[in-house]
Amino acid sequence: MVSRPKGLGRRLPRSFYARKTVSVARELLGKVLVYDGPAGRRAARIVEVEAYLGARDPASHAYRGPTPRTAPMFGPPGRSYVYFVYGMYHCLNVVTESDGVAGAVLLRGAEPLAGFEGFSPRALAGPGKLARAFGLTTKHTNLDLVRSALSIRNARPVPSPRVVRSVRVGLNDHATTNKPWRLYVRGSFGVSRP
């Protein structure tokens, strides 16, 4: 009989993030994003992610080297990287790889678990919607997920037959547009576009 924790699992340790970005992306599926913010505790199950690498990934913000905005992507693993796009949305990433090596996983979709009373069930289906529902902005970039009010908790892994790998969304004409670095849980209502 496998234990089934009723409450939150333990925070993922730094070592979880200090690995290859695609591996971290795969294992983030099913884990629980938690933010203890002004509105209280909010928690959601991660069901859609995308991996963004560094120098070998033209679609990545880190492709042309660090800038003030993208500095967290080059920093230590296990921190947040939040950026602002299209003049109205924010997107939350989890920094991967070792300190000095760029890599991040974009959180694109989640299923609300707690603290989202009054929200639509699909309020977290999409990266801009997810960050907005959690109340995250660029002020929350470079937070340490191992120590701060923002964290990711352990939970049961999503079995491979339930995981879909596809090309990433929203990219233009990059060379890596065809890489299958978007992963999501098959059939989940928290996925932005199945």
Partner DNA sequence: AACACGATCTACT
Partner DNA sequence: GTAGATCGTGTTG
Of the candidates 8, 163, 164, 169, which one interacts with DNA according to CB under 7 A? 169
Q: Which of 86, 58, 170 is nearest to 182 (CA)?
A: 170
- Is residue 104 part of the contact set for DNA (CB under 7 A)? yes
- Is residue 146 part of the contact set for DNA (CB under 7 A)? no
Nearer to DNA, 16 or 52 (CB): 52
The amino acid sitting at 109 is G
- Is residue 77 part of the contact set for DNA (CB under 7 A)? no
Question: How far apart are the C-alpha atoms of 91 and 84, rounded to whole Å?
Answer: 7
- φ/ψ of 52, rounded to 5, equals -125, 120
- Is residue 127 part of the contact set for DNA (CB under 7 A)? yes
- Is residue 91 part of the contact set for DNA (CB under 7 A)? yes
Nearer to DNA, 109 or 115 (CB): 109
- Is residue 101 part of the contact set for DNA (CB under 7 A)? no
- Is residue 32 part of the contact set for DNA (CB under 7 A)? no
Question: How far apart are the C-alpha atoms of 61 and 159, rounded to whole Å?
Answer: 30
Q: Are 32 and 153 in contact (CB under 8 A)?
A: yes
> How many residues sit in the footprint of DNA (CB under 7 A)?
37
Q: Give least dist CB 127 to DNA, A.
A: 5
- Is residue 62 part of the contact set for DNA (CB under 7 A)? yes
If you count DSSP H runs as helices and E runs as strands, how many of each does the chain have, helices first? 4, 8
Question: How far apart are the C-alpha atoms of 132 and 19, rounded to whole Å?
Answer: 28
Tell me which stretch binds DNA (CB under 7 A): 7-15, 26-34, 69-77, 181-189. 69-77
Q: Which two tokens stand for residue 33?
A: 């994003």
Q: Are 28 and 130 in contact (CB under 8 A)?
A: no
Q: Which of 94, 89, 99 is nearest to 50 (CA)?
A: 94
Of the candidates 2, 4, 86, 139, which one interacts with DNA according to CB under 7 A? 86
- Is residue 118 part of the contact set for DNA (CB under 7 A)? no
Secondary structure class of 26 (helix, strand, coil)? helix
Tell me which stretch binds DNA (CB under 7 A): 12-20, 22-30, 58-66, 158-166. 58-66
Residues at the site binding DNA, with contacts judged by CB under 7 A? 50, 52, 59-62, 64, 67-70, 73, 81, 83-89, 91, 93, 104, 106, 108, 126-130, 138, 168-172, 192
